[in-house]
Amino acid sequence: MKQLPRGLWVLLAANVVIALGYGLIAPALPIFASDFGVGITAATVVVSAFAMMRLAFAPATGRLVTKLGERRIYLTGLMVVALSTLACAFAQTYWQLLVFRAAGGIGSTMFSVSAMALLIRLAPQAIRGRASGYYSAGFLVGNLAGPLVGAALVDFGLRMPFVVYAIALLIAAAVVATAMPPAPEPRTEPGAHAPLPAAGFVEALRWAEYRAILASNFAQGWASMGVRVAVVPLFVEQGLGESAGWAGIVLACYAAGNIVAIIVSGRLSDRFGRRPVMIPGLIIAAASTIVLGWSPNIWVVLALTAVSGIGSGLFAPTHQAALGDLLARRERGGSALAAYGMASDLGAVSGPLIAGLIADRWGYGPAFAVTGGIVVVALVLWLVAGDAARDLPVTTNSATTSDDPTRRSR
């Protein structure tokens, strides 16, 4: 079995540190904001400001990656988040905290967009699915362990998690700067055609695979990163009358199903192609989400949530690999890559708001049915899309064939 390149392992290790730190400060941030004497809404604005700045700065980041390169923007993003997080630890007013945390969102989109570009460059096509699975698993492990570590650090003061996360990011940046080799350029093998220009967003929208990838990433943000965190706990507590502790157990069941599927989905997509893994994952996630709001008891919720985690674990890393198949022959970055990250962020921001409004007016059943419907839309687009990975021969680096695979499914 082909081994992952050393540079990719460095990227994956840094990814775990980033995710761990994000979860580490999550329990402390809203409480820290409320300590400045503001209300609940103002405290939550500090949390949402990070995501909003990610959305706002993503198009500019795509252009910066194209001009300056993935590695430089990745390291700059890590430094921005490290310094802004450290500044949060020393904030003296609510407005200082808001500004510093919002600045962290700019750095976050810089390293997330460039990290995806590095993943595409560093992972050979033959193992791109496995690499994407490891990448997703790193986020999951970090997000699971981070809040536990953060809860322990809060005992030393609400500022301590920010200091620890900032130091960890500085160490991660130093390791990436010294240990990660330069990413290979597309089409480096002898006799190859020159790489194609970076893909623009409007151009990429003509590709059926890209439209499907955007839809599934939007659905992932809406259902898994948004509604799961914001609405599922409310359903458990208010809809079923269970304790908040059960809400945590439900989320843990989702994570368990997620990580089990992630372990195998990358290898399966490398072997059989992206669509044969994407489509079952989307079907499983959609079906289990649509009926979730009508669950009669907590045991059904636990089962459905675990099944939904399996579905998400099948398609989340797989559409990352599919994006790599499309863009591996392209020059750096491009707005098409930035839009991929924006799709997930947009889903994560809008999903809880819309599902919450529906739940308030019509109940949790329709709210989760609409969420499942978003996944169904992505499923339909994948059913009519091609599979660039199945059209490409196995290569020794991230390059593909001399024919542009995107031409085959426009």
**pLDDT tens digit string along 169-212?**
999 899 888 888 776 665 444 444 555 666 677 888 888 999 99
Q: Look at the chain and count its residues.
A: 410
Tell me the C-alpha distance between 160 and 155, whole Å. Answer: 9
pLDDT at residue 330 greater than cutoff 80: no
Structure tokens at 310: 């399996």
Look at residue 196 and give its three-state secondary structure.
strand
pTM of the model: 0.76
Residue 397 has pLDDT above 50, yes or no: no
- For residue 186, tell me if it sits in a domain: no
Do 240 and 361 lie in a common domain?
yes
Report the distance separating Cα 383 and Cα 276, nearest Å.
10
Q: Are residues 93 and 219 in the same domain?
A: no
pLDDT number for residue 407 = 44
Residue 313 lies in a domain: yes
Domain match, 161 and 212 both? no
**Single-letter amino acid code for the residue at 58:** A
Note whether residue 191 is domain-resident: no
Domain count, the chain: 2
Average pLDDT (324-347) is: 78
User: Stretch 110-130: mean pLDDT, rounded?
Assistant: 82
Return the percentage of the chain with pLDDT > 70, whole number: 86
Q: Note the pLDDT of residue 147.
A: 67
pLDDT at res. 409: 43
Domain presence at residue 190: no
**Mean pLDDT over each residue of the chain, to the nearest integer:** 82
Considering the chain, what percentage of its residues have pLDDT values greater than 90? 27
Q: Please count the CA atoms within 13 angstroms of the CA of 289 that sit on its side-chain side.
A: 32
Residues 13 and 130 in one domain: yes
Q: Are residues 73 and 116 in the same domain?
A: yes
Q: Is the dihedral of CA 279, 208, 330, 72 positive or negative?
A: negative
- The SS3 assignment for 295 reads coil
Residue 219 and residue 317 share a domain: yes
- b (16+ CB within 10 A) / e for 125-161: bbbbbbbbbbbbbbbbbbbbebbebbeebbeeebbbb
| Helix-helix angle 128-153:160-179, to 10 degrees | 150
Residue 189: inside a domain: no
Structural domain for 19, as ranges: 6-179
The answer to whether the CB of 130 falls within 8 A of the CB of 5 is: no
Angle of helix 335-362 relative to helix 208-219, nearest 10 degrees, comes to 40
Among residues 147, 179, 211, which one ends one of the domains? 179
Q: Is 392 found in the same domain as 271?
A: yes
CATH for 89: 1.20.1250.20
- Which of 114, 149, 179 represents a domain boundary (last residue)? 179
| Residue among 347, 327, 315 nearest 389 (CA) | 327
The structure tokens listed for 321 are 């690999």
1 lies in some domain: no
Same domain? 213 vs 336: yes
HSE of 251, CA atoms in CB hemisphere, 13 A: 24
> Confidence band (pLDDT; 50, 70, 90) for 398?
very low
pLDDT of 218 reads 95
Together in a domain, 157 and 271: no
Same domain? 250 vs 172: no
Does residue 363 sit within a domain?
Answer: yes
Computed on alpha carbons and rounded to an integer, the radius of gyration of the chain in Å comes to 21
Q: End-to-end CA distance of the chain: give it in Å, rounded.
A: 33
Three-state DSSP at 330 gives strand
In a domain, 195, yes or no: no
Asked if 133 and 14 sit in the same domain, the reply is yes
* In a shared domain, residues 271 and 235: yes
At 15-66, the pLDDT tens digits run 888 888 877 787 677 778 888 887 766 776 777 788 788 888 888 887 888 7
Q: How do residues 80-92 score in pLDDT, each as one tens digit?
A: 999 999 999 999 9
Collect all residues with Cβ–Cβ distance below 8 Å to 343 and sequence separation of at least 6. 214, 215, 217, 218, 221
